[in-house]
Amino acid sequence: MANWDHMGKLDRARVFLVAAALLALPLLGCSSSATTGGSPPDAARPTAEAGVFSDDAHAMDARSTKRPPDAHGQPGTGDAGTSRDTGGSDGKAADASLPSASKLLGMNASFGDLPESQTFVLNDLGVNSERGDIELNGASFSDPSYDNTVADWINTLTTHHIVPLPLLNQYIEMSDIDVSAFVGATVGWCKAYCAGGTFYTGNSAANPAYAPQVLEILNEPYGDWWGYPVNSSDIAAYGTLLKAIRTGLDGAGLTNIGILAAANGDGQTWDPALISNGGFAAASAITVHAYGEVDLSQDTPGTNSDGWGLVYYAHQLLVNAGLAAHADIYVTEDGWCTATGGDCVGSGTPFTEAQKDANIATVINQLATVSWLKGFWYFNLHPYGSGSSENSFGLYTCEYCDDAGAETPAWGAFQAAAQANGF
């Protein structure tokens, strides 16, 4: 079990709520796709989208009657259902301004049992990427958590012009990771499913123009996961893993695929060590989870590592270290809890709905206008829990209500900001 007092903002929520979600499974009628590929039981580990089952029965209502976005990420026209706007006469988008080659506005979400309705929700929001947790199981990676098979995941997302962000993950002591196995599995996965992969050859169910071009390596590896406190040997192991993955991909001819390394704004140990050991230099860019306040007047100088300030802090840290070519930022988790029944489980004082909506608008505008900010994945589409225990980071009310929840004002704020910024 993790050291409760030292877990991060959302880590405690994951511990508590994964167990709650699992207890609710018989009531929800979820299919066996919730656990795939022989992964360890979800109660035994936190996940990027713990507790998200996306029972979006309402997702095919009147607001979802438009077609998916075109190759520019703009909303399509006409009726949904019989055809897909895939951007070319051959059914494969070939436009140079694809989201996979530009900015990614993403969501931490999962298909659950309704992949078609889920993707229409993402299309309506203006989302062009979904983050999926893919864990190492022996010598290969499992299917994405809660996203059916990897083939289903990639076929469905790319057809709807949504770029998958693979989070290649393993929740063990980092110094115990089998680097050779992890690298071999990464190369094998990427040869099949990354941009240019064999999966797309002769596969009319997928759109290769939206295949993933970057891989996120481990979720919050700086965290104290289930009794694995991070020490200097773990930081060294993460740097070694990053360098080995880069070498393995290059050796397989996958020089076009980027890898993302995790930064945490720690100016004393984690970040400086990965600068000195070459881990960050092996990465194409870095990821941050910028939970907290958004105040651009304090954030943009790059001296504040709290909340959205971490985005600028991490970027400036690498620039100052001579790693400007590796200093692009992908915010793979960020969100604001509006719960009134508690303290958002480790996230401090809840935000008001107005603050949440304003923060969403601000950061989506930041994504569109800051050149080195390459991606933002909101956490998450649905809230945790219900009633007084609901921890509403999501864009819906209670996920487990009979109608699978209603849109909150944040849903509209997200969609409006995405549209205003050309997503």
What are the residue ranges in the chain where pLDDT is below 70? 1-101, 112-116, 340-343, 345-349, 384-391, 398-405
What is the largest distance, in Å, between two alpha-carbon atoms of the chain? 57
Where are the strands (E) in 218-369, listed by range?
Answer: 258-262, 285-289, 329-334
pLDDT at 80: 29
**Positive or negative CA dihedral for 383, 387, 391, 394?**
positive
pLDDT at 180: 98
pLDDT at 393: 84
Of 263, 310, 255, the closest CA to residue 286 belongs to 263
pLDDT at 407: 85
Backbone conformation region of residue 220, classed left if phi is above 0, alpha if psi is from -120 to 50, else beta: left
Of 350, 272, 346, the closest CA to residue 46 belongs to 346
Backbone phi, psi, residue 164, to 5°:
-70, 135
pLDDT at 333: 95
Alpha-carbon span 164 to 295, nearest angstrom: 30
Q: Which residue range forms the structural domain that includes residue 64?
A: 4-420
Three-state DSSP at 250 gives: helix
Three-state DSSP at 289 gives: strand
Exposed (0-12), middle (13-18) or buried (19+): which is 259, by Cβ within 10 Å?
Answer: buried
Three-state DSSP at 132 gives: strand
Q: Which residues contact 91 (CB under 8 A, 6 or more apart)?
A: 84, 204, 207
Task: Assign residue 77 the CATH number of its domain.
Answer: 3.20.20.80
The domain total for the chain is: 1
Alpha-carbon span 252 to 250, nearest angstrom: 5
**Apex CA 36: angle with CA 33 and CA 37, to 5°?**
150
**CA atoms within a 13 Å half-sphere pointing along the CA-CB vector of 43:** 7
pTM of this prediction exceeds 0.85: no
H-helix or E-strand spanning residue 215:
strand 214-217
Alpha-carbon span 381 to 402, nearest angstrom: 17
Alpha-carbon span 186 to 179, nearest angstrom: 10
Alpha-carbon span 118 to 407, nearest angstrom: 14
Alpha-carbon span 264 to 286, nearest angstrom: 10
